Amino acid sequence: MSKVVIVFDAVIWLCFWRPLAHSRQMILLCRTLLLSLLAFFLLPVSSQGESTNEALAHATAAIATAAPRAQADPARPVFHVTAPAQWINDPNGPIYYKGFYHLFYQLHPFSDESGPKYWGHVRSRDLVKWEPLPIALWPSSDAGEAEVWSGCCTINGQGEPMIFYTSIAAGKSAQTHAEQWAAIGDDNLIKWRKSPANPVLTESLHGGKKIYDWRDPFIFRYKHRTFMVTGGNLNQAKGGQAVVNIYEAENAGLTQWRYRGVLFNHPDSTVRTAECPNFFQLGDKWVLLVSPYGKVQYFAGDFDAETCRFQAHTRGLLDGGPNFYAPNTMQISDGRRLVWGWVNGFPAGHGWNGCLSLPRLLTLSPDGQLRQNPAPELRKLRGKPLEWRNIRLEDGGQTLMLPRSNALEVSADIELKTAEGIALAFKGQTNDGRSLVVHFNGRDLKIGDAEASLALTKGERKLSLRIFIDHSVLEVFANETVCATRVISQQDANAGLEIRAQGGSANVRLLQAWPMKTIW
Ligand code: FRU
């Protein structure tokens, strides 16, 4: 079997190696043909007791088999990161390293529904064009591992790339049994081997304290010290005792850690646990993100590195829509902080399921509110614009014809003047008169049945919208403060946009619409 694995490895490399490919179609065709062939030979390999290379071959073949159907699905987004096929959830280990932005993600390679998790991988030179890479991590069944859950990627004090992730053992419940493991990467972050120091963090670090749902390591540095936070709760997710834990590294190789206690006790009695904590500095404040089995929350405040406690002063939601979860952040070389979330809620049965949100740039306002903007690099995906200026609306509407594409960005600067509200309805010509409506009533932004409160600045009645429609994904950014992500039914490529002022007059100072290019 080892010979098969070597040949397989070589073919994977050829399939993913850019210089060999002359066009997108060629890459797709080559990959699909070669990997389908391999799938044919390798699928019969049993997953019972397989070696780690066989586990990788088996998973890669399953993805290749599912890819043609997934990639032909018209609802599949083209400018959001997806796996070549099958199920994905959380973004993992975002890192900028040696000229590439790397994103990993939770992947279930054997179906388009949730199942045992692996780590998928993509990278980009510019945050615009992305390149799919081989699966980065898979469960080491020979070491009793059944799943590799979410985590982070960092460079240790000896210059070695490391992934930290939550390891779930075969036959054990993730609620009561988890360990934090590490893997060491090559210089391209493509090939990973499990660290001989595993398990790097075990429950014994907590002394007598039991932490349930203990998972999702995230590493940050402060004044030459290295810290890790993990999520969990103290009462079996019964509610009211969600915690974020903090550890400090004791050696440069990051294989020895000391528990520094609870960084943050979640204040809400209904919150059952804190998943995927991210903790980082924005300006002179600290921001904590938690995914609480509900809408993702942020807290901003002060961190005392001596006591390892976080004091939150402000809080809010990262996304008001129903389909954004488990975000993960990256600090890039110029110090900016980007975030990606998991866009969930797609129907099963299409050979793919889930994508990552667009990268958002995070800043903090002077009063401690999180501001989010689409990463400026995304402008490079724009095609030829259509533009309208000063559309005056008097308690009525106007319809504009959008670029003929179902991958679009629409940006609108609107003065509400005397209008009580404004509605933007995307109307397809063939989708049975159903339209997608973004509605602002002066207090709340509503997108279908999702609602997020949006306060206008005193004395200012301005609404600035950036709306991204990518086949079946909608992301809305309003006044840099409110974001909403939702899964929508596949949009018509020939849509009109009806803008309507309600109860008064409004002026659309500038409206621009672009067809968007693919990121692949
Ligand atoms: C969040 C989450 C994480 C966990 C991962 C497993 O969506 O539940 O807490 O590590 O997904 O896929």
**Residues with Cβ < 8 Å from 5, sequence gap 6 or more?**
51, 53, 54, 57
The closest-lying atom of ligand 1 relative to the alpha carbon of residue 166 is 10
H or E element, residue 36: helix 24-42
Report the helix count and the strand count for the chain, using DSSP H and E: 3, 34
Distance from residue 150's CA to the centre of ligand 1 (Å): 6
- Please give the number of the atom of ligand 1 that sits closest to the Cα of 106: 12
**∠ at Cα 328 (167, 310), nearest 5°?**
90
The CA-atom distances, in angstroms, between 167 and each of 53, 109, 177, 199 are: 18, 17, 9, 8
Share of the chain above pLDDT 70, in %: 89
Which atom of ligand 1 is found nearest the CA of 114? Answer: 12
Q: Are 168 and 145 in contact (CB under 8 A)?
A: yes
Residue with tokens 């866009």: 343
Place of tokens 């309805």: 425
Least confident residue range of 1-15, 136-150, 165-179: 1-15
42 CA → ligand 1 middle, Å: 29
Sole residue written with tokens 């075969």: 170
Q: Range with the lowest mean pLDDT among 97-101, 268-272, 444-448?
A: 444-448
Strand partners, 132: 122
Does pLDDT of 432 surpass 70? no
Span 51-65, mean pLDDT? 90
In angstroms and rounded to an integer, the radius of gyration of the C-alpha atoms of the chain is: 23
**CB-side neighbour CA atoms (13 Å) of 456:** 20
d(CA 337, CA 472): 27
- The phi-psi region of residue 471 (left if phi > 0; otherwise alpha if psi is between -120 and 50; otherwise beta) is left
C-alpha 367 to ligand 1 mean position (Å): 32
* Residue 391 CB partners (closer than 8 Å, separation 6+): 398, 499, 507, 508, 511
Compare 314 and 18 and report the one with higher pLDDT.
Answer: 314
- Ligand 1 atom index nearest CA of 231: 9
* Widest Cα–Cα separation across the chain: 74
Residue of minimum CA distance from atom 8 in ligand 1: 275
Instruction: Specify burial of residue 461 (Cβ count, 10 A radius: 0-12, 13-18, 19+).
Output: middle
CA 325 to ligand 1 centroid distance, Å: 10
Q: Please write the tens of the pLDDT for every residue from 386-404.
A: 999 999 999 789 999 999 9
Strand partners of residue 304: 309
Residue 459 pLDDT level (bands cut at 50, 70, 90): confident
Cα 149 to ligand 1 centroid, rounded to whole Å: 6
Q: Which of 88, 90, 272 to mutate to test the pocket of ligand 1 (most atoms within 8 A of CB)?
A: 90
The token pair that represents 337 in the structure block: 């902080």
C-alpha of residue 133 to centroid of ligand 1, in Å: 22
Atom of ligand 1 nearest to the CA of 213: 9
Mutate to test the pocket of ligand 1, among 88, 148, 150 (most ligand atoms within 8 A of CB): 150
pLDDT band (50, 70, 90) for residue 31: low
Q: How far does the centroid of ligand 1 lie from the alpha carbon of residue 179, in Å?
A: 14
Compute the half-sphere exposure of residue 106: CA atoms within 13 Å on the CB side of its CA.
29
Residue 12 Cα to ligand 1 midpoint, Å, equals 28
The confidence score (pLDDT) of residue 496 equals 92
Contact 342, 354 (CB under 8 A): yes
pLDDT of 20 above 80? no
**Cα 86 to averaged position of ligand 1 atoms, centre (Å):** 17
Distance 216 CA to ligand 1 centre (A): 7
pLDDT band at 456 (very low <50, low <70, confident <90, very high): confident
Q: Whose CA is nearest to atom 6 of ligand 1?
A: 149
Residues found in the chain: 520
User: Which among 147, 149, 165, 244 is the best mutation to test ligand 1's pocket, defined by most ligand atoms within 8 Å of the CB?
Assistant: 149
Q: How far is CA 103 from CA 94, 100, 133, 486, 489, in A?
A: 5, 10, 10, 22, 27
Q: Does the structure show a pLDDT above 80 at 48?
A: no
Residue of 89, 117, 163 to mutate, ligand 1, most atoms within 8 A of C-beta: 89
Distance from Cα 320 to the centre of ligand 1, integer Å: 20
Q: 51 pLDDT band (50/70/90 cuts)?
A: low
Ligand 1 center to residue 205 CA distance, Å?
Answer: 22
Q: Is the pLDDT of residue 98 over 60?
A: yes
pLDDT digits over 270-329, tens only?
999 999 999 999 999 999 999 999 999 999 999 999 999 999 999 999 999 999 999 999
Of the pLDDT bands very low, low, confident and very high (cuts 50, 70, 90), residue 515 is very high
- What confidence score (pLDDT) does residue 519 get? 98
SS (H, E, C) 436-485: EEEEECCCEEEECCEEEECCCCCCCCEEEEEEEEECCEEEEEECCCEEEE
User: Quick one: average pLDDT of 505-513?
Assistant: 97
Q: The tokens of 266 are what? A: 């979640």
Its pTM stands at: 0.91
User: Which atom of ligand 1 lies at the shortest distance from residue 165's CA?
Assistant: 10
Whether the Cβ atoms of residue 490 and residue 470 lie closer than 8 Å to each other = no
**CA-closest residue to ligand 1 atom 12:** 149
**For all residues of the chain together, what is the average pLDDT?**
91
Query: For 226-245, what is each residue's pLDDT tens digit?
Result: 999 999 999 999 999 999 99
**Ligand 1 centroid from CA 458, angstroms:** 40
Distance (Å) from CA 151 to ligand 1 centroid: 9
Atom of ligand 1 nearest to the CA of 325: 7
Least confident of 1-5, 109-113, 352-356, 410-414: 1-5
In ligand 1, which atom is closest to the CA atom of 151?
10
Name residues whose C-beta falls within 8 Å of residue 42's C-beta, 6 or more positions apart in sequence: 4, 8, 57, 58, 61
Asked if pLDDT for residue 458 goes beyond 90, the answer is: no
Q: Which residues line ligand 1 (CB under 6 A)?
A: 89-90, 106, 117, 149-150, 166, 215-216, 275-276, 291, 325-326
| Beta carbons of 195 and 183 less than 8 angstroms apart | yes
Q: Give the atom of ligand 1 at the shortest distance from the alpha carbon of 291.
A: 1
Q: Atom 1, ligand 1: which residue's CA is nearest?
A: 326
